[in-house]
Structure 1
Amino acid sequence: MIADWNKSREEKSAGLGHQTNGIRVWCKPPDGWIKINSDAACIPGASQVDVGCIARDDCGRFLRAKTAVLQGQFQPREAEAIGLREALSWIMPWRKTKCIFECDAKMVVDAVNGGSGNSYFHMIIDDCKDIIKHFDEVLVGLRII
Structure 2
Amino acid sequence: MSTEPKIETRPAQPYAAIPVKAPMREWGRVNALVPEVYGRLGRRRIVPAGPLFYRYRVIGGMDVPFELEVGVPVPEPIEPDGRIIPGSIPPGRYATLTHHGHPDGLFDAITALQEWGTAQGITWDIRREGGTEIWGGRFEFYLTDPAVEPDMTKWSIELAYRLQDA
TM-score (norm 2): 0.24
Which structure has the highest strand share of the two?
2
Greater relative contact order (Cα < 8 A, sep 6+) = 2
TM-score (norm 1): 0.27
Which structure has the highest helix share of the two?
1
